[in-house]
Structure 1
Amino acid sequence: MTAAVEMQSDAAALEAAALWCVQLSEGELTEREWAAFDAWLAQPGNADLLQEAAAIWQASGAIADWPGVIALRTRALVDFRKRDRRRWMGGPSWSMARMAAAAAVLIVTMVSIAWYALEPRGYRTGIGERQVAMLADGSHLSIDADTAVTVRMNDRARAVELADGRAKFDVARDPLRPFTVAAGDKLIVAVGTSFSVERINGEVRVILYKGQVEIRDRADTARQDDGARRVLLTPGSEFVAAVGSGRPAQISRPDLSQSLSWEQGLLNFDQEPLASAVARVNRYSARHVVLADPALGAIPIDGVFRAGDPDAFVDGIVAVHPMRRRVDGDEIVLERR
């Protein structure tokens, strides 16, 4: 047997295994079909081929219920059945032309499934809404209210874009695929670790809970020389930098338990600038708090408030600071008194 004939034979065997895998996944077979399957399975090597095909098919299970994949799989089966599957199951009467046609259907289906698997996945929470998601690699994503996140994954990288709001990432360890979060003009790079990223009032804030992350300027990501600006964050540290600013970032050691209070629906402020506190309060309520004078935003505040209760927050502020509240439609205005 020539090499070309052997390759053709191997390809046909793999295609047959894939077709049987599709058939078995779609429901019960008739007695005649089971007999054909048993005869095929008894041939040397076919059991291993079926196991390989099943592993590939099962690997697509995470997206099997996506509408696009269901439609593609259905079309492939309909087309296959139209091409007279019984002649194929009968054995040698199956022509190479029909085999090629069925293989083409499978290729289109698998390529389309791969495209859907790599399609960017968007997460968006509304006012007062929090969400928890498990990513395809096993990483855990906790999303704060009024937050927009986009996730892209392939066999080389895991990339997240934080457009707005705040999210915490518990990253599954995978040294061959770095986990990156782009926020503003910063890129946070991790492997297996736990950290949060927030965009608020023109700043990017990163808190590292465990592991290690490297923070880069996105404009420098292609540079490998010493001129590239990079910060290696250690556990228990917070990185704060203004987007688009050339000023050095600030590194501090926050209270980690306090920084995670938002996951329990609490807003915990410790000498927090009022402007940042108001921005976080406004994530949880359609009734927004507004500062009549931007200068008020620099006033540091303390306290623990329940998310979604802007009135209690404002009451606490006016009780200890020289401010008063004024209601203007759906807004609660804080002004000097």
Structure 2
Amino acid sequence: MNMLGIEPLPNRDEQAAIWYLNIVEEELSDDDQKEFEIWLSHPENLKAFEEAARLWNDADRASEMPEVIQLRSAALQDFNHFSQRWPRRLSRPAYLWGSIAATLLAIVGSTALLLYQPVQRYQTGIGGGRVVVLDDGSSLALDADTEVEVRLGRNRRDLTLTHGRAEFDVAKDPLRPFTVAAAGKMVVATGTAFSVELLRNEFLATLYHGNVAVLNEQDEKPLIPSPLRPGQQLAVSLGNNTKTVITSVDPANAMAWRTGQLSFENEPLTSAVERMNRYSRRKLVIASSVAGLRVNGVFEAGDSNAFVEAVTALSPLQAVYGDGQITLVRKHN
């Protein structure tokens, strides 16, 4: 059956775009609704229609971009003009539908370019480190065993820390917010320096200079009532019982990992071990009974043996050496 009483359009994406605009802008008659359901019953048509709907809705997110405003307005003006000139949908000439479809597909293309920026991934392996300078002049320093995804757009700079720790030195650009998302949290800045770290059970944001806001990524509501101040660290527990704690930190200690040292001050043993493990393939493992112990000291990154010697000398711990790992357990009297 010919769609809308016209010769079949050569492109399924064009058909999907026209159907979507008809449904959004006008009510379908009973006959048109039946024809649409027949057309939609084809799996490839359904896929094309869902994609057209998604991209048209995505254009709403870019509604302040001049390129999208112009194209959307043109498509709607053409549609309304043709609706008035040919009030019966079934009698509208095929070339007019092709004109509307072409405009709709231009919106899809421009929206994709504006909203879906290429993703650059930067990562390090066990014991590695890396400094990257982005096209906007910002730089990021990656700790060992870390990955960061970067999307630089015309109106936003969106980064995602998937695991590990990274420091971000942000080039000032008030018109393009710089955001770092991790574990459902989001740090927003314009020109500043801060770090974000993901541990197994904790999200950490540390501010070195400037200011940042920390939000819940899903609803963009602030996690804390006011922005962090330089020298402050926000810790957010991950899991069902979310807890936020702000503490003051020594920037030099907080950045010690940049020079190959790990500085711990009253650090939970679990967190200290997780950080040490980023630098060594011989993993440290701790028994649940000693997870609550605290660690103090400065250690060379990757020197697991020195770390084990120190914590077993200063805490009620003993080391059990196995194949490829060292297990820390409570010392027996």
AA in 2 matched with 1:311? N
| Equivalent position of 2:298 in the other structure | 304
| Equivalent position of 1:105 in the other structure | none
Cα distance in 1 for residues equivalent to 2:126 and 2:259: 16
> Aligned pair 1:271/2:261, yes or no?
no
1:240 to 231, 235, 243: 235
Cα distance in 2 for residues equivalent to 1:164 and 1:319: 31
Q: Give the CA deviation at 1:169.
A: 0.3
Sort the Cα spacing of 1:324 and 1:244 in 2 relative to 1 into closer, same or farther, 3 A. Answer: closer
AA in 2 matched with 1:165? G
Whether the 8 Å CA contact 1:128–1:145 is kept in 2: the answer is yes
Q: String of CA shifts for 1:154-213, please: whole Å, max 9, x gaps.
A: 111000000100000000000000000001010100000000000012211000000000
| Equivalent position of 2:250 in the other structure | 255
Q: Give the CA deviation at 1:245.
A: 4.1
SS in 1 for 2:127: coil
AA in 2 matched with 1:173? K
> Aligned pair 1:200/2:199, yes or no?
yes
1:97-176 mapped onto 2 (5 Å cutoff): 118-176=117-175
Whether the 8 Å CA contact 1:217–1:230 is kept in 2: the answer is no
Whether the 8 Å CA contact 1:128–1:283 is kept in 2: the answer is yes
Q: Give the CA deviation at 1:148.
A: 1.0
Cα distance in 2 for residues equivalent to 1:271 and 1:304: 12
Cα distance in 1 for residues equivalent to 2:223 and 2:252: 30
Cα distance in 1 for residues equivalent to 2:204 and 2:190: 19
Whether the 8 Å CA contact 2:289–2:330 is kept in 1: the answer is no
| Equivalent position of 1:326 in the other structure | 320
AA in 2 matched with 1:299? L
Cα distance in 2 for residues equivalent to 1:306 and 1:265: 6
Q: Give the CA deviation at 1:229.
A: 4.3
Cα distance in 1 for residues equivalent to 2:117 and 2:184: 24
Whether the 8 Å CA contact 1:185–1:244 is kept in 2: the answer is no
Q: String of CA shifts for 1:125-153, please: whole Å, max 9, x gaps.
A: 00000000001100010000000110000
SS in 1 for 2:218: helix
Sort the Cα spacing of 1:246 and 1:297 in 2 relative to 1 into closer, same or farther, 3 A. Answer: closer
Cα distance in 2 for residues equivalent to 1:245 and 1:159: 27
Runs of 4+ in 1 over 3 A off after TM superposition: 228-231, 244-248
Whether the 8 Å CA contact 1:185–1:243 is kept in 2: the answer is no
Cα distance in 2 for residues equivalent to 1:180 and 1:295: 38
Cα distance in 1 for residues equivalent to 2:130 and 2:264: 22
Q: Give the CA deviation at 1:246.
A: 4.7
CA RMSD of aligned residues (A): 1.7
SS in 2 for 1:136: coil
Aligned residues: percent identity?
Answer: 41
Cα distance in 1 for residues equivalent to 2:223 and 2:151: 25
SS in 1 for 2:291: helix
| Equivalent position of 1:314 in the other structure | 308
Flag structure 1 segments of 5+ consecutive residues without an equivalent.
Answer: 1-110
Deviates more, 1:296-305 or 1:189-198: 296-305
Q: Give the CA deviation at 1:248.
A: 3.8
| Equivalent position of 2:60 in the other structure | none
SS in 1 for 2:230: coil
Cα distance in 2 for residues equivalent to 1:168 and 1:275: 22
AA in 1 matched with 2:293? I
Q: Give the CA deviation at 1:124.
A: 1.1
